[in-house]
Amino acid sequence: MTFRGKIISGSLITGFFLGIIFWGGFHWSLEMTNNEEFCISCHEMKDNIYPEYKETVHYSNRTGVRATCPDCHVPKQWFYKIKRKIEASREVFHKIIGTIDTREKFEEYRLTMALSEWKRMKSADSRECRNCHDYESMDFVDQGRRAVKAHSIGLDEGKTCIDCHKGIAHHLPLGWEAAAEKAGL
């Protein structure tokens, strides 16, 4: 093998191993920021959102199945997960500048955050909800009459989960109904 061939071979082998290390590190960091402990590591989430979530059926229910923050707010499919993580950099920016660093600021900004999340969920056809819930798997026999009627109408009208289930895991902000209607949500 010539000297040039050894350089090319060495470069390819080095590049291959560096690629594996990079991919492993990238995947590890992605997963480290994709769990409930990470989500509530800042006081804004721990003190405001997390206590509300602990009062809901997504935290405690008769089946013992718990949906955590990333289950509802981070898609499982790789492309959409990366897209969501990039979008989350805006949230990190607001964390740094202190947009919601007090309870009062949080409540002032709650409607803006809710509208943004509802818009994201609606545009994705409630993709994260459907990781656990989907019309095809619903057992209408086990649902109450009101739920069967609502889900049947929703199915017929092409509605998505967030159309009817705003506030399912967090308190609704003041003025949400008028703001959601104005935003087409």
Whole-angstrom distance, CA of residue 13 vs CA of residue 124 = 41
Whole-angstrom distance, CA of residue 148 vs CA of residue 154 = 10
Question: Which amino acid type is present at position 19?
Answer: G
Which segment of 46-50, 63-67, 170-174, 178-182 scores lowest on mean pLDDT?
63-67
pLDDT digits (tens, 9 = 90+) for 86-132: 888 888 888 889 888 888 999 999 999 999 999 999 999 999 998 88
Query: Can you give the pTM of this predicted structure?
Result: 0.79
pLDDT digits (tens, 9 = 90+) for 119-177: 999 999 999 998 888 777 777 777 888 888 888 888 888 889 999 999 889 999 999 99
pLDDT score of 26? 85
Crossing angle of the two packed helices 78-97 and 3-32, in degrees rounded to 10: 70
Reported confidence tier of residue 52, pLDDT bands at 50, 70, 90 = very high
Whole-angstrom distance, CA of residue 107 vs CA of residue 93 = 18
Q: Domain ranges in the chain?
A: 1-32, 40-182
* Average pLDDT score, the chain: 88
Q: Which two tokens stand for residue 170?
A: 């967090």
Q: Which two tokens stand for residue 40?
A: 């509530």
Most confident of 24-38, 76-90, 168-182: 168-182
What DSSP letter does each residue of 53-115 carry, written as one string? HTTSTTTS-TT-----HHHHHS-SSHHHHHHHHHHHHHHHHHHHHTTTSSHHHHHHHHHHHHH
Residue pair 129/154 in contact (Cβ under 8 Å)? The answer is no
Q: How many CB atoms lie within 10 A of CB 79?
A: 8
pLDDT score of 108? 92
pLDDT score of 183? 92
Reported confidence tier of residue 178, pLDDT bands at 50, 70, 90 = very high
Residue carrying structure tokens 């981070």: 74
Residue pair 30/85 in contact (Cβ under 8 Å)? The answer is yes
pLDDT score of 109? 92
